[in-house]
Structure 1
Amino acid sequence: MQRSIDFFGRQERVGFYSTFVAVGDVPGLSISSDPDTGEVHALRAPASPPPSSTPSPVLTEHGIDILAELLTGLL
């Protein structure tokens, strides 16, 4: 299933392939989540600008760009 989400301040059309849904708040991490349901879409540690956990890049419209940001931040 694809839908548009707020991905750390920008809209991304992402794919979801699992019925597992994480909810909640994790101290020390930035969380990209649905404001209505609290479903977690991605996590980001404060010291790393790119997301530490991302939606499925294969099912996501700009998945390659999201992975490139993540890998560039690691280098």
Structure 2
Amino acid sequence: DLFGVRERVGFYNSFAARSSEDRFEHATFGGVRVSREPGTGEVHALLGTRFASVQFHAESLLTHNGVHIIGELLGAVLRGADVPASHSAPGSPQLLIAAQ
């Protein structure tokens, strides 16, 4: 389940983030939605008002609708997403890069 839509996506990494919540508040980015596996809490993606992040490989052939998924996530960021934020970070959408 990727934010309410069933998608077949490709994972081939050895690291996994886990969350017990479907959303949380971040001091800088406000409300953040968490797409996760309900049984394990393994995080598939994050979506906030100014960013989107995926743990799977959207560009891979293992992800059936990768181009569509990337387009939907970018569209959500450009629209400001549907996450109520306590406050928004100033400026334009940001690219977040996390080292693993």
**Shorter-chain TM-score: what band?**
0.7 to 0.9
Give the corresponding residue for 2:16: 21
**1:24-66 C-alpha deviation (Å, 9 max, x unpaired):** 2462210000000000000000x25xx7012211131100101
Where does structure 1 differ by over 4 angstroms across 4 or more consecutive aligned residues?
none
When Rg is computed on C-alpha atoms for both structures, the one with the higher figure is 2
CA RMSD of aligned residues (A): 2.1
Contact 2:52 2:74 in 1 (8 A): no
Note the residue ranges of structure 1 that are not aligned, 5 or more in a row.
1-5
What SS does the corresponding residue of 1:13 show, helix, strand or coil? coil
Scaled by the length of structure 2, the TM-score of the pair is 0.57
Scaled by the length of structure 1, the TM-score of the pair is 0.74
Note the residue ranges of structure 2 that are not aligned, 5 or more in a row.
26-31, 80-100
Equivalence map 1:1-75=2 (5 Å) = 6-24=1-19, 25=21, 27-28=24-25, 29-45=32-48, 47=49, 52-54=52-54, 55-57=56-58, 58=60, 59-73=62-76, 74=78
**Distance of 1:63 and 1:38 partners within structure 2:** 22
What SS does the corresponding residue of 2:8 show, helix, strand or coil? strand
Aligned-pair identity in percent equals 43
**Distance of 2:39 and 2:74 partners within structure 1:** 31
| Residue identity matched to 2:53 | S
